[in-house]
């Protein structure tokens, strides 16, 4: 069995096996050991630290007394704490949470993993990754409505290696910044899935999206890429457009899509420095994604010379 530096301990063998399978599937190999210590029980509510972020189904608290992060799942009782400086996440899952492990992993535990990976110098950015036929690395950053998943699926369907449609991690590889991808299915909304015109994937009931693996679209998985291109996308109407931007503008966009940069003071500068290095390393573009891409996905590569 393949070993991963992310270990899982849990007295419940069934939960442990599911979590280990998920961690292996993610394909993430950080440079130092990280761990999930999972207990099944009744989670206490977090006290003391202030709520700093609320995203769908997940609440994040941070700050004194321990300066770590505390993550709560809203869908079913579950909490996680990562104290400042620690490389272990203490997780308490209620029996209700364990009865819906697929959703728990997809929304709650992935957030815990994102914060745990910060302790290994891997900093999250909302971005899709791909490599174009010329061998150039692409990072496509933006929010949930920016067209990242549809673009990743389109590029995968044309045989471009694709890493992720959203969960990417910036890593300092000395000379360059590389972006590691969490291996998972691309989550497509109904419109994008229909236009893609492929009869593959499975329905994610709760999110009303179709989950399609890049491999099912003919792509190979790309675990790591050194971005040469940064695309900040919005979804437009008919015709796609791209406009180059400078490094400072690219940096402010990266900060926007790498929201955890403002949490945990001892890690914030390292995270900001990585974003800066990436903004200097790659050429940024502001891109409007049009419907023309469904007929001509390679038009994106033509727009980015």
Partner 1 sequence: MSVCYKQHPELRLTEVEGEGVVLHLGTRRYFSVTESGLILLQALETPRTFDELVAALLEEYEVSEAEAANSAREFIDKCLESKLLLEEE
Using CB under 8 A, list all residues that contact partner 1.
52, 246-248, 251-252, 255, 261-263, 265, 268-269, 272-273, 275-276, 279-280
- The alpha helices in the chain, defined as continuous H runs, are 13-26, 95-98, 101-103, 110-118, 148-157, 190-196, 247-256, 265-281, 292-295, 299-303
In the complex, minimum distance from the CB of residue 65 to partner 1, in angstroms, rounded to a whole number: 17
In the complex, least distance from residue 58 CB atom to partner 1, rounded to whole angstroms: 17
CB of 14 or CB of 269, closer to partner 1: 269
CB 68 to partner 1: min, Å? 15
CB atoms within 10 A of CB 291: 13
Q: How far is the CB of 52 from partner 1 (least distance, A)?
A: 7
Q: How far is the CB of 27 from partner 1 (least distance, A)?
A: 30
Q: Which is nearer to partner 1, 19 or 251 (CB)?
A: 251
* CA-closest candidate to residue 241, choices 287, 299, 188: 287
Nearer to partner 1, 16 or 256 (CB): 256
Q: Please name the residue that has the structure tokens 């033509």.
A: 302
Comparing CB distances to partner 1, the nearer of 23 and 245 is: 245
Q: CB-wise, 272 or 303, nearer to partner 1?
A: 272
Q: Quick one: CA torsion of 26, 19, 72, 205, rounded to 10 degrees?
A: 70
CB of 253 to partner 1, least distance (A): 11
- Scanning the structure block, which residue is given the tokens 């909302």? 126
Measure Cα distances from 263 to 54, 159, 218, 249 in Å. 13, 37, 38, 22
Nearer to partner 1, 206 or 280 (CB): 280
Tell me the backbone φ, ψ of residue 275, rounded to 5 degrees: -60, -40
């Amino acid at each position: 069995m393949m070993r991963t530096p992310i270990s899982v301990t849990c007295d419940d063998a069934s939960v442990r096996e599911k979590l280990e399978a998920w961690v292996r599937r993610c394909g993430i190999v950080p440079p130092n050991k990280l761990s999930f210590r999972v207990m099944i029980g009744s989670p206490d509510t977090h006290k003391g630290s202030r709520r700093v972020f609320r995203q769908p189904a997940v609440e994040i608290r941070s700050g004194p007394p321990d300066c770590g992060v505390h993550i709560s799942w809203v869908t079913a009782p579950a909490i996680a704490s990562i104290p400042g400086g620690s490389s272990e996440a203490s997780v308490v899952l209620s029996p209700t949470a364990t009865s819906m492990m697929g959703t728990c992993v997809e929304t709650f535990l992935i957030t815990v993993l994102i914060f745990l990976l910060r302790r290994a110098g891997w900093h999250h950015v909302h971005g899709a990754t791909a490599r174009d036929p010329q061998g150039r690395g692409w990072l496509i950053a933006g929010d949930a409505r920016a067209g990242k998943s549809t673009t990743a699926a389109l590029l995968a369907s044309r045989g471009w290696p694709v890493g992720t449609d959203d969960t990417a991690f910036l890593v300092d590889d000395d000379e360059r910044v590389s972006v590691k991808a969490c291996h998972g299915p691309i989550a497509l909304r109904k419109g994008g899935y229909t236009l893609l015109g492929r009869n593959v994937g499975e329905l994610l009931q709760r999110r009303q999206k179709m989950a399609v693996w890049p491999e099912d679209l003919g792509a190979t998985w790309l675990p790591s890429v050194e971005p040469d291109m940064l695309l900040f996308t919005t979804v437009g109407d008919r015709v796609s457009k791209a406009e180059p931007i400078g490094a400072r503008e690219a940096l402010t966009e990266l900060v926007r899509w790498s929201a955890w940069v403002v949490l945990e003071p001892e890690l914030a500068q390292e995270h900001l420095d990585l974003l800066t290095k990436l903004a200097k390393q790659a050429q940024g573009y502001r891109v409007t994604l049009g419907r023309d891409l469904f007929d001509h996905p390679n038009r994106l590569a033509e727009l980015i010379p």
